[in-house]
Amino acid sequence: MTKPLPQGISLGQFNAAIAEIKQVVGKDYVFLDDITELRSYRDAYNTTNDADFAPSAAVAPKTVEQIQKILAIVNDYKIPIWTISTGKNFAYGGPAPRKAGYVVLDLKLMNKIIEVNEKHGYAIVEPGVSYYDLYNFLQEKGIKLWIDCAAPAWGGFVGNTSDHGAGYTPYGDHLLMQCGMQVVLADGTVVETGMDTSANSKTGALYKYGQGAAIDGLFTQSNFGVITRMGIWLMPEPPGFTPFMITLENERDLETVTDLTLPLRLNQVIHNAPMTVDLLWEAAMSVSKRQYYTGTGPMPESNRQKMAKDLDLGIWNYYAAVYGPAPMMKNNMEIIRDTFSTIPGAKFHFDKTRKGDPGWDYRVKLMQGIPNMTEFSLLNWVGGGGHINFSPISAADGKASMTQYQMIRKRAHEYNFDYIGEFLIGWRDQHHIFMLMFDRMNAEEKKRAHELFAVLVDDAAALGYGEYRTHLSFMDQIANSYSWNDNALWDTHHALKDELDPNGILSPGKMGIWPKHLRGKS
């Protein structure tokens, strides 16, 4: 197998650069072997070919100084690097780089928990710190702070937050809860943002904006710098927590439940992001498709109904929670009950009757920041594990939800896939996640999934719907769809890119942001 090299770089140049990098981190932290080491850096769930995203090497530094030295070398040789932190961004590319041949800058070994401050409710962590790591630490030390993790929870704070990820407790908007970061620019300049404007600032992880332009957001979903540290606010353990579920019988209930939710979110009656989850996503936590349908294509309606009945699930399944002192939770639950009981067929479920159901159990864990991997059961639905997320943003509006759902479902069925999805209802918006599941060992299915995804991006854009995050394969297509005023925003991103990374060595192509020499050639 020929080693994939970065575009325009010769083997000699590559080897020379690697030799220098080995002197920085030690040869044991430079991974070169395509078979024994770099296989683990590929995107296991891609919809094209492994080779499309195969790195030429991976490097694992532990300190800012090492990163600075590596940057100096790759700038010199003009070798593109692709930064990952915990490397678990599955459904969006995992640890793999945008194009074959990049060198992966793997920050997993930069994994210190720098500080946890219980009194002020924050932590400062390095990129390699996973949700499990901090959770275990807090448990071990008896610190009464919760984390807010993604599902599944083997990812980490820096990576997920910088990809605009979301969670399931009241602190679910991860970027909102981020406070301060340390970034290394392409030329090695170290920047402390936020309130670390002075050397002994007391408010580094306490005040988000600093003074002057508030620039933290520039380093999220972008390739303008390498984040080496991040502050995050942690929620104090509340006095009480009441999760609940509502099963809904009709497809159109999606519209009603969304419209009923918005005022409850605006008025903070429900404190976290409610999830409206479709039947199949729910069912996948307990069973696989073949247990109810052995044919090809989407599961037929009668099979779905039987499965729903067996598992005591609705066509839609709504999860949310209230948090706080018991009397306040009781007051909020009264309003919640009154509100949703107006939906015919809506049934409330609580821990008493639901405990032990894997779907309930894992969501309850997520809503209190207990990391778990149960959501990976989705990969069992068709088996073969392939999955890619189509993630449009929707208004927190019933009609908009129905439009998106029906549009996606129709296309999915056309391409012989099930619609598997959920809506996370934020403050005024929703993250709509369509889990496109496929057997990664089936080349035809991969191809079909890829085609479906590309069609969905275009369909959505035609309706004015855009995705909030995406897989490596679709970054350009989606970036191009955010085209208001002749792609003025991406031109702006490129102006920033050219200034902050003139050699274009940081994660070229991330979110469709390319350095000059690669622009328009992807």
Partner 1 sequence: MNKSLIFGLSCLALSACDQATDSSKTESINQAAKLETSAPAQPTTTVESSNRAGRVIFELHCAGCHDPGPAHAATKQLALVRGEDKAVIMQRKDLTADYIKYIVRDGLLEMPPFRPTDINNAELDNLATYIVEGAKAHTPEETK
Partner 2 sequence: MNTIVEKLSALFTADKLIAVNQNTPVEYQFLADRINNAERKVVAIVTPSTLDELQKLLVFSADQAFSLFNLLSPGEINTAPIPANGDIVVIDLKKLNAIIEVNTKAAYALVEPGVSYAQLNDYLEANNIPFVVDFDKNSTQSVSGGISNRSYGYTPYGDHLMMQCGMEVMLASGRLIRTGMGAMPGSDSWQLFKYGFGPYIDGTFTQSSLGIITKVGIWLMPKAPAYQPFALQLPNEAALNQAVEIMRDMKINMLVPNTVTVASAQSDALQFADEAIEHISSNDEAAKKHQLGQWNMYGALYNIPANVEFLWQAINGAFGQIEGAKFLLQDATASNPVWAQREMKMNGKFNAINPQLAAYSSINVHFASPIDGDDAVSMQALLQKVSNPAELKIISQFALTWRTMMHQLQILYPTGNVEKLAQARQLAKQLIDDFTAQGYPSCLVDADMQDAVDAVSLDGLKTLKKRVKKALDPQSVFG
> Pick from partner 1, partner 2, none: which does 485 bind, CB < 5 to 8 A by kind?
partner 2
**Concatenated DSSP letters for 261-297?**
HHHHHHTTSS-S--EEEEHHHHHTTT--GGGT--SSS
> Three-class SS of residue 451?
helix
CB of 70 to partner 2, least distance (A): 18
CB of 33 to partner 1, least distance (A): 6
Q: Does 137 bind partner 1 (CB under 8 A)?
A: yes
Please identify, using beta-carbon distances, which residue of 34 and 163 lies nearer to partner 2.
Answer: 163
In this structure, are residues 316 and 462 in contact, taking their beta carbons and an 8 Å threshold? Answer: no
CB of 53 to partner 1, least distance (A): 13
Q: Does 10 bind partner 1 (CB under 8 A)?
A: no
- Euclidean distance between CA atoms 382 and 255, whole angstroms: 28
Residues 335-364 vs partner 1: string with x where CB under 8 A?
Answer: -----------------------x--xx--
The four Cα atoms 98, 101, 105, 109 give a dihedral, to 10 degrees, of 110
Residues tagged active-site: 92, 468-469
- Euclidean distance between CA atoms 124 and 114, whole angstroms: 5
Judged by CB under 8 A, the residue of 202, 413, 516, 517 near partner 1 is: 202
> Pick from partner 1, partner 2, none: which does 396 bind, CB < 5 to 8 A by kind?
partner 2
> Pick from partner 2, partner 1, none: which does 15 bind, CB < 5 to 8 A by kind?
partner 1
Q: Does 9 bind partner 1 (CB under 8 A)?
A: no
> Pick from partner 1, partner 2, none: which does 296 bind, CB < 5 to 8 A by kind?
none
Q: Does 136 bind partner 1 (CB under 8 A)?
A: yes
Q: Does 26 bind partner 1 (CB under 8 A)?
A: yes
**Cis amide prior to 152 (ω within 30 degrees):** yes
Q: Does 444 bind partner 1 (CB under 8 A)?
A: no
Q: Does 66 bind partner 1 (CB under 8 A)?
A: yes
- Euclidean distance between CA atoms 321 and 328, whole angstroms: 13
Please identify, using beta-carbon distances, which residue of 38 and 315 lies nearer to partner 1.
Answer: 38
**Concatenated DSSP letters for 360-417?**
HHHHHHHHTT----GGGGGGGTTSSEEEEEE-BEEES-HHHHHHHHHHHHHHHHHTT-
Judged by CB under 8 A, the residue of 25, 145, 321, 436 near partner 1 is: 25
In this structure, are residues 377 and 437 in contact, taking their beta carbons and an 8 Å threshold? Answer: no
Kindly report the number of other CB atoms within 10 A of residue 380's CB atom.
18
In this structure, are residues 229 and 124 in contact, taking their beta carbons and an 8 Å threshold? Answer: yes
> Pick from partner 1, partner 2, none: which does 33 bind, CB < 5 to 8 A by kind?
partner 1
Residue type, 56: S
**Residue 298, burial from CB neighbour count under 10 angstroms (0-12, 13-18, 19+):** buried
Please identify, using beta-carbon distances, which residue of 137 and 207 lies nearer to partner 2.
Answer: 207
Residues 456-485 vs partner 1: string with x where CB under 8 A?
Answer: ------------------------------
CB of 232 to partner 2, least distance (A): 11
Please identify, using beta-carbon distances, which residue of 207 and 482 lies nearer to partner 1.
Answer: 207
Please identify, using beta-carbon distances, which residue of 175 and 379 lies nearer to partner 1.
Answer: 379
> Three-class SS of residue 505?
coil
Tell which phi-psi region holds residue 316, choosing left (phi > 0), alpha (psi between -120 and 50) or beta: beta
**Of 59, 155, 54, 67, which is closest to residue 105 (Cα–Cα)?**
59
> Pick from partner 1, partner 2, none: which does 507 bind, CB < 5 to 8 A by kind?
none
CB of 486 to partner 1, least distance (A): 40
CB neighbours of 11 closer than 8 A, spacing ≥ 6? 3, 5
Q: Within positions 166 to 195, which residues make up the interface with partner 1, using CB under 8 A?
A: 180, 192
> Pick from partner 1, partner 2, none: which does 467 bind, CB < 5 to 8 A by kind?
partner 2
Q: Within positions 285 to 344, which residues make up the interface with partner 1, using CB under 8 A?
A: 286, 288, 290-291
**Of 13, 105, 184, 74, which is closest to residue 503 (Cα–Cα)?**
74
Q: Within positions 231 to 270, which residues make up the interface with partner 1, using CB under 8 A?
A: 231
The four Cα atoms 281, 287, 288, 290 give a dihedral, to 10 degrees, of -130
Please identify, using beta-carbon distances, which residue of 445 and 467 lies nearer to partner 2.
Answer: 467
Tell which phi-psi region holds residue 282, choosing left (phi > 0), alpha (psi between -120 and 50) or beta: alpha
Please identify, using beta-carbon distances, which residue of 103 and 461 lies nearer to partner 1.
Answer: 103
Task: Determine the interface stretch with partner 1 among 201-209, 341-349, 478-486, 507-515 (rule: CB under 8 A).
Answer: 201-209
> Pick from partner 1, partner 2, none: which does 63 bind, CB < 5 to 8 A by kind?
partner 1
- ∠ CA 114-127-368, rounded to 5°: 80
Q: Within positions 374 to 403, which residues make up the interface with partner 1, using CB under 8 A?
A: 374, 376-377, 379-380, 383-385
In this structure, are residues 89 and 111 in contact, taking their beta carbons and an 8 Å threshold? Answer: no
Q: Does 58 bind partner 1 (CB under 8 A)?
A: yes
- ∠ CA 141-115-25, rounded to 5°: 110
Please identify, using beta-carbon distances, which residue of 283 and 513 lies nearer to partner 1.
Answer: 283
Please identify, using beta-carbon distances, which residue of 19 and 488 lies nearer to partner 2.
Answer: 488
Q: Within positions 85 to 104, which residues make up the interface with partner 1, using CB under 8 A?
A: 87, 90, 94-95
Residue 327 main-chain phi, psi, to 5 deg: -60, -35
Q: Does 48 bind partner 1 (CB under 8 A)?
A: no
